[in-house]
Amino acid sequence: MDPVRIAIDAEGGDQGVPVVVRGVLEARRLWGDAFEALLCGDRAPIMQQLELAGCTDTGVWLHVEHCPERIVDSATPSQVWRRHPGSSVVRCVSLQREGAVDASVSAGDTGVLMSTAVFLLGKSPGVHRPALAATVPTVGGGLAMLLDVGANTNCRSEHLVSFASLGSEYSRSLFSSEEPRVALLNVGEEHFKGTPVIADAHETLKQECRGYVGFIEGSRVLSGDADVIVCDGFVGNAMLKVCESFYALTERVLSSDPRLLETVTRRMAILNADNYGAVPFLGVRGIVLKAHGRSSAQAITSAVGTTISAVRRGAIPRDGVGSHRRREHSYAR
Amino acid sequence: MDPVRIAIDAEGGDQGVPVVVRGVLEARRLWGDAFEALLCGDRAPIMQQLELAGCTDTGVWLHVEHCPERIVDSATPSQVWRRHPGSSVVRCVSLQREGAVDASVSAGDTGVLMSTAVFLLGKSPGVHRPALAATVPTVGGGLAMLLDVGANTNCRSEHLVSFASLGSEYSRSLFSSEEPRVALLNVGEEHFKGTPVIADAHETLKQECRGYVGFIEGSRVLSGDADVIVCDGFVGNAMLKVCESFYALTERVLSSDPRLLETVTRRMAILNADNYGAVPFLGVRGIVLKAHGRSSAQAITSAVGTTISAVRRGAIPRDGVGSHRRREHSYAR
């Protein structure tokens, strides 16, 4: 099987090049020939880190794409792809557009990555706005999908409806489930709860989404009562990140008992942000994953693993998840 | 010291009268003479539950206020206090207005309880909208305040600014801290992140809130980096409730090892929704607490405990938390 070719933004994360390089080298140790990495960023610091690590594989499975340009902070996300074509994040997605890689991963700004992906790769047919979908563990031992987790902080009801469709399709591909149960996050489960946007989305979903099971509260997000949980990106981001905070708190509570701590953190490993690494954009024509801004080396390693399996499983088709089933004809571009 | 007189909505919770009665009787066992309960609801089922429990204290520390009226589901929250004056929740707050009790607790609908409290007791001077404030544990072993957690699902920036002021004042009373660090929840910490509402609130808080420390992400909500975390009620509700879900997940992960499970749940007891019981409305002229709709008997017991200490500590003054310090003169009505 050909290795999965991944463009990796070496400069996207808060912790810079050293962490990305360490993460990629560890991924090589774990998954060997399963992938090739194309590191995009300033060549000098990347080469320095590779030398420090004693890595001489440049040109073999590891390639460096020199990106001299920096993103000026004042550039709005939607302008970056045009104004800074030589920046590391834009080069990743450009290389993907050119067919040089199969997927891109960046720990950089979500808005910049989404705009760049939308402008350079395009949206899937019928998609209003792409969304970031996180996979979360459930109490019963399964997995559920939560979206959006940060790509869209201000949503109208049609965006939420679109996320339901994106999540449902992705869940079908990922878990081979026939009819994923889709729920809409709300502050309560009675029909009169929530905002007008939520109420509107609820009415449309009742009509149009076959697997729709109604409202769900935060307390049931990890319960396994739904396979796909739809919310706006502000709320989804907050919920996903508070889980990280909770993980840290668990560690603190158990810190006086090292043996217990070790047992619990090992068993709860699936909840640690470092282990999921990156989440995919759904509704983009191509496989683009967003890693956490604060990614550790371990998170980058996991992000590479997640990308390999996203490409291998074909859960995100090359022309994107997200076309409504009823609009399958529109796949024919 | 006189017992704290608490009006308790016997019918507010999803699990009805039996759970509320059991919770109140357990509270009596724990805190004895510290409180008197005035149970508001349909007399017959309340008396039946008391009989079943072998309780003969009616008229001693436990009183029953017969409330024959039911809230019709179609009534909008803001109309309930006028349309259903004989309902259990409205009677609780009416009795408080009449001075018959010191505080009210209900596990009923948040919107109904808030509107009833605002109309019957009034808002504190200078308050736009009252907010529900939850106290959450922090990694360092302390506590932080999160508001709003469900009273306002659609906020403008001035509401968020007002929550900062409410939370700050409450935090000062509760923890005797000089200058609580106030943070605004956002999807990132860079200045360009978030919605226009968040950006506006950020600018105002920088000018007007002395303890303001800027944006905070969900991953730092439990970190202890802020004493007061401000967000809209939709997000706050989702975050608080996902913590419950997380607690259940922790239990699941450890279920195969009963000894370990027992140790962990004991040590993490503070994270269990059953243990905090109820959260106060800030910005209302009086002590009104909202218990979880799904409250268990244990949660009701905790809610009684929380109410006793809220009244005893005087953290919520009788005329309400929430007047801006700079507007102290307006306390003189």
b/e sequence A96-134, b meaning 16+ C-beta within 10 Å: bbeeebbbbbbbbbbbbbbbbbbbbbbbbbbbbbbbbbb
Query: Which residues of chain B neighbour A238 with C-beta distances below 8 Å?
Result: 185, 187, 217-218, 221, 231, 235, 238-239
Confidence of residue A316 (pLDDT cuts 50, 70, 90): low
Do β-strands B131-137 and B182-185 pair in parallel, antiparallel, or remain unpaired? Answer: unpaired
Distance from CA of B301 to the nearest CA of A (A): 20
**In terms of CA atoms, which chain B residue is nearest residue A251?**
B139
Query: Which residues of chain A neighbour B109 with C-beta distances below 8 Å?
Result: 188, 190
Distance from CA of B319 to the nearest CA of A (A): 29
pLDDT at B315: 59
Model ipTM? 0.85
Inter-chain contacts counted by CB atoms under 8 A, chains A and B: 160
Distance from CA of B51 to the nearest CA of A (A): 33
Do the Cβ atoms of B4 and B308 come closer than 8 Å? yes
Confidence of residue A236 (pLDDT cuts 50, 70, 90): very high
Distance from CA of B24 to the nearest CA of A (A): 24
Count of beta carbons in the 10 Å neighbourhood of residue B259: 8
Query: Which residues of chain B neighbour A222 with C-beta distances below 8 Å?
Result: 242, 245-246, 248-249
pLDDT at B326: 31
Range from A91-100, A204-213, B127-136 carrying the lowest mean pLDDT: B127-136
- State both tokens at B42: 């349909």
- The number of C-alpha atoms within 13 Å of A120 and in the hemisphere containing its C-beta is 28
Do the Cβ atoms of A32 and A57 come closer than 8 Å? no
Query: For residue B3, what is the DSSP state?
Result: P
Distance from CA of B221 to the nearest CA of A (A): 7
Query: Among candidates A137, A129, A177, which has minimal Cα distance to A155?
Result: A129
pLDDT at B285: 94
The amino acid sitting at A46 is I
The mean pLDDT value of chain B amounts to: 87
- State both tokens at A165: 């469709």
Range from A147-156, A252-261, A320-329 carrying the lowest mean pLDDT: A320-329
Interface test with A, best of B109, B215, B234 (most A CBs within 10 A): B234
Residue A322 in this model has a pLDDT that exceeds 70: no
Q: Which spans in B122-179 are helix H?
A: 157-175
Q: How far apart are CA A40 and CA A87, in angstroms?
A: 8
Distances (CA, A) of A71 to A16, A79, A150, A288, B103: 14, 10, 21, 19, 56
Percentage with pLDDT > 70 across chain A: 90
Of A231, A248, A271, the CB nearest to B139: A248
Do the Cβ atoms of A286 and A318 come closer than 8 Å? yes
The residue-averaged pLDDT of A307-315 equals 83
Interchain pair B235, A231: CB under 8 A? no
Higher per-residue pLDDT: A45 or B13:
A45
Phi-psi region of B176 (alpha: psi -120 to 50; beta: other; left: phi over 0): left
The amino acid sitting at B316 is I
Interchain pair B246, A222: CB under 8 A? yes
Of B137, B195, B242, the CB nearest to A234: B195
Count of beta carbons in the 10 Å neighbourhood of residue B159: 21
Residue A11 in this model has a pLDDT that exceeds 90: yes
pLDDT at B330: 29
Based on DSSP, count helices (H) and strands (E) in chain B, helices before strands: 11, 11
Higher per-residue pLDDT: A264 or A3:
A3
Confidence of residue A332 (pLDDT cuts 50, 70, 90): very low
Distances (CA, A) of B331 to B132, B165, B166: 21, 15, 14
Q: How far apart are CA A197 and CA A203, in angstroms?
A: 10
pLDDT at A74: 67
Query: For residue B272, what is the DSSP state?
Result: -
Interchain pair A248, B76: CB under 8 A? no
pLDDT at A328: 33
Distances (CA, A) of B332 to A251, A264, B124, B319: 48, 55, 11, 10
Query: Which residues of chain A neighbour B249 with C-beta distances below 8 Å?
Result: 137-139, 222, 271
Confidence of residue A270 (pLDDT cuts 50, 70, 90): low
Of A218, A263, A267, the CB nearest to B240: A218
Higher per-residue pLDDT: A257 or B299:
B299
**Beta bridge partner(s), residue B143:** B137
pLDDT at B199: 96
**In terms of CA atoms, which chain A residue is nearest residue B77?**
A192
- Non-local (6+) Cβ contacts of A119 within 8 A are A78, A81, A82
Higher per-residue pLDDT: B315 or B312:
B312
pLDDT at A247: 74
Higher per-residue pLDDT: B333 or B203:
B203
Chain centre to alpha carbon of residue A98: 22
Q: Which residue has the tokens 């590391």?
A: A88
Range from A44-58, A258-272, B92-106, B166-180 carrying the lowest mean pLDDT: A258-272
Do the Cβ atoms of A95 and A38 come closer than 8 Å? yes
pLDDT at B137: 78
pLDDT at A204: 97
Query: Among candidates B129, B137, B77, B79, which has minimal Cα distance to B106?
Result: B77
Residue A145 in this model has a pLDDT that exceeds 60: yes
Higher per-residue pLDDT: B203 or A324:
B203
pLDDT in tens, B118-159: 999 999 988 989 999 998 878 777 888 999 999 999 899 999
The residue-averaged pLDDT of B56-79 equals 87
Cα-Cα-Cα-Cα torsion B203, B208, B211, B212, nearest 10 degrees, comes to: -10
Q: How far apart are CA B89 and CA B85, in angstroms?
A: 9
Range from A194-203, B173-182, B211-220 carrying the lowest mean pLDDT: B173-182
pLDDT at A326: 31
Provide the 3-class DSSP secondary structure of residue A147. strand
**In terms of CA atoms, which chain A residue is nearest residue B240?**
A218
Confidence of residue A26 (pLDDT cuts 50, 70, 90): very high
Q: Which residue has the tokens 């889709």?
A: A182
Of A233, A239, A264, the CB nearest to B242: A239
pLDDT at B268: 65
Interchain pair A250, B260: CB under 8 A? no
